[in-house]
Amino acid sequence: MPRHAHTAVRRNQLRRRLREICRRWVLPALAAPTDTVVRARPAAYDAAFDRLRLELVAALCPSSRASSSC
């Protein structure tokens, strides 16, 4: 049985998607270098990239609109 009900391939794919969202949209908008931890819920495995981006940007950049970059 795979760990957490998902294979290593699926976990790594989700990790790469979240890392890219943070690299392109979240980190450039932060005022100072910041350590950030993102804990993905099981539903994140099936979410589309755009939905992940909107939710992550909205959570980490609350002063901005979720539809645009931070």
Token pair for 51 = 């939905």
Phi and psi of 2, rounded to 5°?
-65, 150
pLDDT in tens, 14-48: 999 999 999 999 988 887 878 889 999 999 999 99
Q: Please tell me which residue, 66 or 36, carries the higher pLDDT value.
A: 36
Answer whether 64's CB lies under 8 Å from 33's CB: no
pLDDT at residue 44, rounded to an integer: 95
Q: Where are the domains of the chain?
A: 3-60
Torsion of CA 24, 27, 28, 33, to 10 degrees: -150
